């Protein structure tokens, strides 16, 4: 496997990135988290080659302090290929120890309402991502048990309602496909509560490096509801997810 001595997609210096990382998909959400929750923030506009092409990638990363603990917030982009690139480089080149993905998802259970919080205890995918990466043939990957347990305990301390269950990571944006057709192929021993596009890849890369990863999601739509969150409602619900992730990762 060719890796080279330096990362190709994260244009940061050694020490710029903390061992603890939160990863939203959206670069602007990373910026919002840094401005709203972190203090003494170092801003890094990561790009593929140099500053001249930063506006083509805009994969923003920020390092600051949350309650005195150094934390980095960096976007992953959308889909497993993008998540795989940034998670790989964070673990391999920057010695990151823990990553919590914080993202949005579609609820696939009537018991999971918009905008409930979900913690993934596994991710099922039909993708060949893991097989291509290192010949892993299974279609399910798992987060860190210890990190998940910390998140569950922290949710209880914060009095946050948190659904814990299996999710599916898709290669196609869920609302654009027939949910039932895809879900019919999922193994019957899995109880899929939500769908998203990145967690399977994150878990697999973390397990490869023997590092910790978890995924907290906010349900922003549901196949059982026509509820559409207003901008204010969406921000408030995402703030709960961000707070839960930050409080958990610093423990």
Distance between CA atoms of 195 and 169, rounded to whole angstroms? 6
Q: Show Cβ contacts of residue 47 under 8 Å, excluding neighbours closer than 6 positions.
A: 11, 53, 54, 56, 57, 59
**Other C-beta atoms lying within 10 Å of the C-beta of residue 121:** 17
Does residue 221 carry a catalytic annotation?
yes
H runs (alpha helix) in the chain: 27-37, 54-57, 80-94, 129-134, 145-158, 179-183, 199-208, 231-249
Q: Tell the burial category of 14 from Cβ atoms under 10 Å away from its Cβ (0-12, 13-18, 19+).
A: exposed
Q: Cα–Cα distances in Å, from 57 out to 8, 27, 65, 66, 143?
A: 12, 10, 25, 27, 28
Q: Which sequence positions are flagged as catalytic?
A: 221
């Amino acid at each position: 496997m060719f890796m080279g001595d330096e990362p190709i997609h994260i244009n940061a210096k050694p020490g710029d990135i903390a061992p603890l990382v939160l990863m939203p998909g959206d670069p602007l959400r990373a910026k919002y988290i840094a401005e709203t929750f972190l203090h003494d923030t170092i801003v890094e506009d990561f790009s593929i080659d140099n500053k001249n092409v930063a506006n083509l990638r805009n994969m923003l990363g920020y390092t600051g302090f949350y309650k005195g603990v150094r934390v980095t917030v960096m976007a992953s982009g959308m889909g497993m290929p993008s998540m795989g690139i940034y998670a790989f480089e964070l673990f391999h080149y920057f010695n990151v120890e823990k990553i919590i993905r914080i993202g949005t998802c579609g609820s696939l259970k009537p018991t999971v309402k918009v905008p409930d919080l979900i913690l993934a205890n596994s991710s099922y995918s039909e993708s060949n991502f893991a097989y291509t990466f290192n010949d892993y043939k299974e279609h399910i990957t798992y987060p860190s048990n210890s990190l998940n347990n910390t998140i569950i305990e922290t949710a209880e301390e914060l009095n946050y309602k948190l659904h814990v269950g299996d999710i599916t990571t898709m290669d196609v944006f869920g609302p654009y496909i027939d949910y039932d057709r895809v879900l019919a192929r999922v193994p019957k021993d899995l109880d899929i509560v939500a769908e998203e596009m990145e967690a399977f890849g994150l878990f697999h890369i973390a397990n490869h490096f023997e590092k910790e990863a978890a995924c907290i999601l906010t349900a922003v739509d549901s196949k059982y509801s026509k509820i559409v969150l207003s901008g204010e409602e969406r921000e408030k619900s995402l703030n709960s997810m961000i707070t839960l992730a930050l409080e958990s990762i610093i423990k």
